């Protein structure tokens, strides 16, 4: 009769479960990043394609001598509609089906692309590409940090959220003040806030996996919401960097 050490058997079982859990976590995070990357690609395609269409540009903006002089009523609707979609998705995620949540997510990415069309009129293509690659490198580094660090970033997240509220207020004030100094300051602070939020959101998503693991529907919806959070971090870093280092036409 073969003898089996019960302690060794239990230890082997625990190790096997840990390996399976790590594999599940990697698959979960990879799905989030795939969603995010696909949404960024959709946004870029829509923005670039719309910038080549005179009909779309004239519908969204008042363009004079190749420069954006103002936004039309439709332009304001397109600019504000993504906010409504984010609220709809965030507040109704538990009631929505996974398919409906995906549809809202893709619609959001497409509308953001339409709202970003003007950057191709305001900035040179080289500076847009430069800001994108700097954003990609910064985002990647901070997301890796958030995934691997043992430090609890909860406190930093709370501080950054307060900073974000202040940034929004300052940006609204500057719409009326039109201060170049305040615009420069908000650009720098905006980059720092969303760089920090990238690490915080990544760690938060990693922690959420342990709450939804084993529930396929919950994992699918968490993946969509996680991709939305990281997507918004990326887009905001990109836009603030573009304002900071972009070369205007």
Averaged confidence pLDDT in the chain: 86
Q: Is the pLDDT of residue 193 over 90?
A: yes
pTM equals 0.86
For 21-67, how does the pLDDT look when each residue is reduced to its tens digit (9 = 90+)? 578 899 999 999 999 999 999 999 999 999 888 888 888 888 666 56
Angle, alpha carbons 50-53-55 (nearest 5°): 110
Confidence (pLDDT) at 21: 57
Confidence (pLDDT) at 8: 42
Confidence (pLDDT) at 68: 66
Q: Which of 20-24, 73-77, 189-193, 236-240 has the lowest mean pLDDT?
A: 20-24
Residues 128 and 205: their CA atoms lie apart, in Å, by: 29
What is the maximal distance between C-alpha atoms in the chain?
Answer: 90
Confidence (pLDDT) at 137: 95
For 147-175, how does the pLDDT look when each residue is reduced to its tens digit (9 = 90+)? 999 999 988 888 898 998 998 898 888 87
Residues 3 and 16: their CA atoms lie apart, in Å, by: 21
Q: Are 234 and 36 in contact (CB under 8 A)?
A: yes
Confidence (pLDDT) at 13: 45
pLDDT band at 180 (very low <50, low <70, confident <90, very high): confident
Long-range contacts of 151-158 (CB under 8 A, 24+ apart): 153/199, 153/200, 153/203, 153/204, 154/200, 156/196, 156/199, 156/200, 157/197, 157/200, 157/201, 157/204
For 98-113, how does the pLDDT look when each residue is reduced to its tens digit (9 = 90+)? 999 999 999 999 999 9
For 6-32, how does the pLDDT look when each residue is reduced to its tens digit (9 = 90+)? 444 444 444 444 445 578 899 999 999
pLDDT band at 142 (very low <50, low <70, confident <90, very high): very high
Confidence (pLDDT) at 63: 66
Confidence (pLDDT) at 66: 58
Q: Is the pLDDT of residue 5 over 70?
A: no
């Amino acid at each position: 009769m073969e003898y089996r050490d019960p302690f060794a058997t239990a230890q082997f079982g625990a190790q096997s479960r840990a390996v399976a859990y790590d594999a599940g976590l990697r698959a979960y995070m990879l799905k989030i990043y795939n969603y995010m990357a696909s949404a960024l690609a959709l946004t870029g395609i829509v923005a670039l394609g719309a910038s080549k269409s005179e009909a779309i540009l004239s519908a969204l903006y008042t363009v004079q001598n190749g420069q954006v002089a103002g936004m039309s009523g439709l332009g304001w609707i397109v600019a504000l509609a993504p906010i409504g979609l984010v609220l709809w998705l965030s507040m109704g995620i538990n009631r929505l089906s996974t398919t409906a949540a995906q549809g809202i997510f893709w619609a959001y990415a497409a509308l953001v692309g339409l709202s970003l069309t003007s950057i191709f009129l305001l900035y040179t293509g080289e500076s847009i590409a430069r800001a994108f690659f700097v954003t990609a490198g910064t985002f990647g580094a901070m997301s890796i940090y958030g995934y691997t660090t043992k430090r609890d970033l909860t406190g930093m997240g709370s501080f950054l959220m307060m900073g974000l509220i202040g940034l929004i207020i300052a940006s609204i004030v500057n719409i009326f003040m039109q201060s170049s100094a305040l615009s420069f300051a908000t650009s720098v602070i905006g980059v720092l806030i969303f760089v920090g939020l990238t690490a915080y959101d990544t760690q938060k998503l990693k922690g959420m996996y342990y709450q939804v693991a084993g529930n396929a529907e919950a994992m699918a919806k968490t993946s969509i919401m996680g991709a939305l959070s990281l997507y918004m971090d990326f887009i905001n870093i990109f836009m603030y960097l573009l304002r900071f280092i972009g070369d205007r036409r």
